[in-house]
């Protein structure tokens, strides 16, 4: 069976992540396959990226990258804002706007979510990950003024 080059996969994954939620948030959603979900997609040649998630203040989702119609990599995630913020729509919107800016910083060294550490205007994004593209797990957190506002855990890797 023909295989893809890992460099090609990585370039596509970074492109897809930068052009979907990180760029447009929920506005990137296409008509979802699953009722009640949001679905983001990106295509480039033989590559396809799909991110489906449920919820908002707390959400659960899965990203899948397919090559020539076959799923080859996936990442599952769950998280959201703290319970104290969940009913404060303006604060939730601020947290997720900051998150999208952090996710725009995705790199080849950490292609899962955002950078190891990033901040602006007193807000701080931290991402800890173990493993590599083959198999990984991680967690990210957003804090402002020393108070944690958001947490998310994720894991995934190449499908075998």
Helix (H) or strand (E) holding 117, with range, is strand 117-120
> How far apart (Å, rounded) are the C-alpha atoms in residues 68 and 44?
11
Helix (H) or strand (E) holding 121, with range, is none
| Three-class secondary structure of residue 11 per DSSP | helix
Start-to-end C-alpha separation, the chain: 13
pLDDT at 152: 98
pLDDT at 2: 61
Q: What is the DSSP string of 19-77?
A: HTHHHHGGGG-B--SSTTEEEEEEEETTEEEEEEEEESSEEEEEEEEEETTEEEEEEEE
> How far apart (Å, rounded) are the C-alpha atoms in residues 136 and 59?
20
Tens of each residue's pLDDT in the chain, 160 residues: 469 999 999 999 999 999 998 888 777 778 999 999 999 999 999 999 999 999 999 999 999 999 999 999 999 999 999 999 999 999 999 999 999 999 999 999 999 999 999 999 999 999 999 999 999 999 999 999 999 999 999 999 999 9
| Three-class secondary structure of residue 145 per DSSP | coil
């Amino acid at each position: 069976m023909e295989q893809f080059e890992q460099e090609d996969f990585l370039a596509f994954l970074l492109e897809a992540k930068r052009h979907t939620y990180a760029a447009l948030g929920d506005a990137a959603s296409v008509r979802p396959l699953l009722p009640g979900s949001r679905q983001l997609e990106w295509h480039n040649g033989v590559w396809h990226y799909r991110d489906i998630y449920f919820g908002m203040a707390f959400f659960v989702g899965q990203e899948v990258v397919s090559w020539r119609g076959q799923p080859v990599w996936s990442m599952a995630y769950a998280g959201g804002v703290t319970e104290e913020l969940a009913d404060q729509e303006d604060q939730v919107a601020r947290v997720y706007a900051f998150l999208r800016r952090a996710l725009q910083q995705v790199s080849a060294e950490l292609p899962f979510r955002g950078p190891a550490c990033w901040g602006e205007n007193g807000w701080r994004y931290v991402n800890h990950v173990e493993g590599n593209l083959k198999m990984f797990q991680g967690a990210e957190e957003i804090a402002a003024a020393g108070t944690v506002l958001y947490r998310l855990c994720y894991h995934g890797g190449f499908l075998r």
